[in-house]
C-alpha cells in the first residue's frame, strides 16, 4: 500500500481552504433560469456580426484552423496590449501615456490577483490588507499562498468609502503588509472609491508596498472614472480590469493588470509562457476594436436604462428596504425587510432561495458580508429579465413575509 497521506502531504492552509462559491453551486441551471447572480452582461459579447463571421470562418475558406491553433499563441500579446492601452489612454488624470510595457494580461483578473501575491508576499511571513465588504477571491488567493490578511472595513453604508486614517495607521504599524487590495466600483457595494483617497494612500510616507485597484466594473461608472493611466505616475499602483463585465466576454477569461513597467515586467516574468490562448486573444482584440466598442456601448446603454428602472421601481415593492451601496456598476445592493421593517438575513436568505427554487430567478445573498445585513445583490439584466425579476420578487417577498 502506498504511504501517501493527503492530510499530511498537502499544505495545511490548502486543506483548510474554503473555496470561492457562487450561487450556481447551489442551483443547477436548466436553461430556463434568469441568471442575475454573477454580474454578467445579459446582452451578450461585444462582437460585431462581421467579427463573429471572421472568427468562425477559416482564412482560406476551407474550415481549417482559422486562428492558427496548431501554433502556440503569442506569449507577449503586444497587439492586444496596445489596444487595451488605447482604450484607457484618456489623459483625464495625467499627460503620460500607457504603453504595452505597462500591461500584464492573464486568465481573468484572478490570475493577476494570484500573481501579485506570489510576486510580493513571502508565504507564512507577509500579509495583505483588504477592506470588507469586498471581492472574495482576494482572501481565497491569499490563503492558497499562505498569506495572512489584515482587514480594515469600509466606512458604513451607503457610502462604503475608504477609511483612509485607519488604513494608513495599519500600513504604518505593520511592515509585513505588502499588498493593499481595493475594489472600485466595489463588489458587492457598487460604490466608486474617491480618487483623492486612493492617491492619499499611494502617498503614504513610510509604507513599502503596492496598492492593487480592482476596476472590474469601471465601464459602468461615470466617464473617465478609471485610474489605470495613473500607473505611469505612481511606482506602486496596479490597476486590474477585465473583459468579463461590460464587454460581455466572461467566457474567454481575459483580464489585464496595468502597472508601472518594472512591476509589469515581474508579473510577465513569472506567468506561464502561453497563458492567453489564440482564440481568447482574437476575441478580446475584436471586443476592444472600434467595432467591438460600438457594440459594448450600445449594450451598456441598455444596461444603464434597466439599472435606472430597477432603482425606480424596486422601492415600491413591499418588503424592499434601502439601496445600501452605489450605482456605479451593473448590480445593486438592496435590503430585504421583515414585518417590523428591519433588514433581516433570514428574510433575505429565504427570498434568495425561493426566487431560485420556485421562480427560476437567481440573485446573490450577501447578508453575511460586513455592513450588508439583510442584503441581496441583484445583477441588472435585460428588459425582459428585469420585468420577470420584479414580479417574482414582489410575489416572493409577500410569501416569505406572510409566513414569518
Quick: pLDDT tens for 99-123. Answer: 999 999 999 999 999 999 988 888 9
> Would the pTM count as exceeding 0.85?
yes
- Using the structure block, give the residue that is written with the C-alpha cell 486562428: 67
pLDDT, tens digit (0-9, with 9 covering 90-100), for 24-49 = 667 766 778 887 877 878 887 776 76
| Residue 279 and residue 297 share a domain | no
> Which position has the grid cell 482564412?
59
Both 240 and 361 in one domain: the answer is no
Is the predicted pLDDT of residue 403 greater than 60, yes or no? yes
Last residue of a domain, one of 264, 292, 320: 292
Q: Tell me which of 267, 292, 317 is where a domain ends.
A: 292
Q: How sure is the predictor about 266, in pLDDT bands with cuts at 50, 70 and 90?
A: confident
User: pLDDT tens for residues 202-255?
Assistant: 999 999 899 999 999 999 999 999 999 999 999 999 999 999 999 999 999 999
- pLDDT band (50, 70, 90) for residue 161: very high
Element (H, E) at 254: strand 254-258
Could you tell me the residue range of the domain that residue 308 belongs to?
Answer: 10-45+293-403
The residue whose grid cell reads 444603464 is 304
Residues 88-94 have a mean pLDDT of 97
pLDDT tens digit sequence for 358-393: 999 999 999 999 999 999 999 999 999 999 999 999
93 vs 28, more confident: 93
Q: What pLDDT shows up at residue 58?
A: 44
> Residues 298-320: what's their mean pLDDT?
97
Cell of 43: 446582452
Q: Which strands, in side-by-side order, build the sheet including 375-379?
A: 320-323, 331-336, 375-379, 364-365
H or E segment and range at residue 79: helix 78-88
What is the grid cell recorded at 17? 481552504
- In DSSP terms, which residues pair with 150 in a beta bridge? 129
Domain membership of residue 60 (yes or no) is no
Per DSSP, the three-state class of 102 is: helix
Q: Examine the fold and report which residue of 262, 292, 322 is the final residue of a domain before the chain moves on.
A: 292
Query: Bridge-partner residues for 335, per DSSP?
Result: 375
% of the chain at pLDDT higher than 70: 88
The Cα–Cα gap between 359 and 293 comes to 35
What letters, b where the CB count within 10 A reaches 16 and e where it falls short, cover 86-114?
ebbbeeebbeeebebebbbbbbbbbbbbb
Output the nine-digit C-alpha cell for 260.
Answer: 508601472
Higher pLDDT, 357 or 21: 357
Q: What is the mean pLDDT of the chain?
A: 90
Mean pLDDT, residues 285-301: 96
> Is 236:230 a contact under the CB 8 Å cutoff?
no
Residue 167 lies in a domain: yes
| Predicted local distance difference test score (pLDDT) of residue 62 | 40
pLDDT exceeds 60 at position 165: yes
Q: What cell was used for 162?
A: 475608504
The pLDDT of residue 188 is above 70? yes
Residues 333 and 192 in one domain: no
Q: Is position 18 within any domain?
A: yes
User: Residue 56, CB half-sphere, CA atoms under 13 Å: how many?
Assistant: 7
Q: Are residues 101 and 211 in the same domain?
A: yes
Angle at 167 between CA 344 and CA 198, to 5 degrees: 95
Q: Report the candidate in 336, 342, 398, 339 with the shortest Cα–Cα distance to residue 364.
A: 336
- Domain at 251, CATH number: 3.40.640.10
- pLDDT average, residue stretch 269-281: 88
pLDDT band at 4 (very low <50, low <70, confident <90, very high): low
Amino acid at each position: 500500500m502506498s504511504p501517501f497521506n493527503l492530510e499530511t502531504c498537502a499544505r495545511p492552509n490548502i486543506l483548510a481552504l474554503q473555496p470561492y462559491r457562487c450561487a450556481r453551486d447551489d442551483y443547477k441551471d436548466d436553461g430556463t433560469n434568469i441568471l442575475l447572480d454573477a454580474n454578467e452582461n445579459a446582452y451578450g459579447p461585444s462582437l460585431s456580426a462581421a467579427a463573429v463571421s471572421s472568427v468562425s470562418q477559416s482564412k482560406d475558406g476551407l474550415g481549417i484552423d482559422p486562428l492558427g491553433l496548431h501554433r502556440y499563441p503569442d506569449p507577449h500579446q503586444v497587439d492586444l496590449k496596445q489596444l487595451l492601452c488605447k482604450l484607457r489612454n484618456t489623459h483625464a488624470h495625467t499627460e503620460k501615456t500607457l504603453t504595452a510595457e505597462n500591461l500584464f494580461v492573464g486568465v481573468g483578473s484572478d490570475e493577476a490577483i494570484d500573481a501579485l501575491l506570489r510576486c510580493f508576499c513571502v508565504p507564512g511571513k507577509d500579509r495583505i490588507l483588504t477592506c470588507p465588504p469586498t471581492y472574495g477571491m482576494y482572501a481565497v488567493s491569499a490563503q492558497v499562498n499562505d498569506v495572512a490578511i489584515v482587514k480594515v472595513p469600509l466606512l458604513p453604508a451607503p457610502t462604503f468609502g475608504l477609511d483612509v486614517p485607519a488604513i494608513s495607521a495599519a500600513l504604518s504599524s505593520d511592515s509585513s503588509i505588502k499588498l493593499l487590495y481595493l475594489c472600485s466600483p466595489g463588489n458587492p457595494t457598487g460604490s466608486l472609491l474617491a480618487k483623492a483617497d486612493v492617491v492619499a494612500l499611494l502617498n503614504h510616507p513610510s509604507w513599502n508596498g503596492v496598492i492593487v485597484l480592482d476596476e472590474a466594473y469601471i465601464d459602468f461608472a461615470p466617464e473617465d472614472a478609471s485610474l489605470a493611466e495613473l500607473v505611469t505616475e505612481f511606482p506602486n499602483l496596479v490597476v486590474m480590469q477585465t473583459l468579463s463585465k461590460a464587454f460581455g466576454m466572461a467566457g474567454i477569461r481575459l483580464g489585464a493588470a496595468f502597472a508601472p513597467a518594472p512591476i509589469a515586467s515581474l508579473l510577465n516574468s513569472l506567468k506561464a509562457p502561453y497563458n492567453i490562448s489564440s482564440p481568447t486573444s482574437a476575441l478580446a482584440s475584436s471586443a476592444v476594436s472600434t467595432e467591438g466598442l460600438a457594440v459594448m456601448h450600445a449594450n451598456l446603454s441598455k444596461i444603464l436604462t434597466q439599472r435606472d428602472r430597477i432603482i425606480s421601481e424596486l422601492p415600491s415593492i413591499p418588503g424592499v428596504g434601502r439601496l445600501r451601496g452605489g450605482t456605479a456598476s451593473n448590480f445593486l445592493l438592496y435590503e430585504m425587510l421583515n414585518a417590523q421593517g428591519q433588514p433581516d438575513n433570514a428574510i433575505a436568505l429565504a427570498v434568495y432561495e425561493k426566487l431560485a427554487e420556485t421562480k427560476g430567478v437567481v440573485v446573490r445573498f450577501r447578508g453575511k458580508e460586513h455592513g450588508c445585513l439583510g442584503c441581496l445583490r441583484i445583477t441588472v439584466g435585460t428588459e425582459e429579465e428585469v420585468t420577470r425579476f420584479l414580479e417574482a420578487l414582489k410575489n416572493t417577498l409577500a410569501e416569505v413575509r406572510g409566513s414569518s
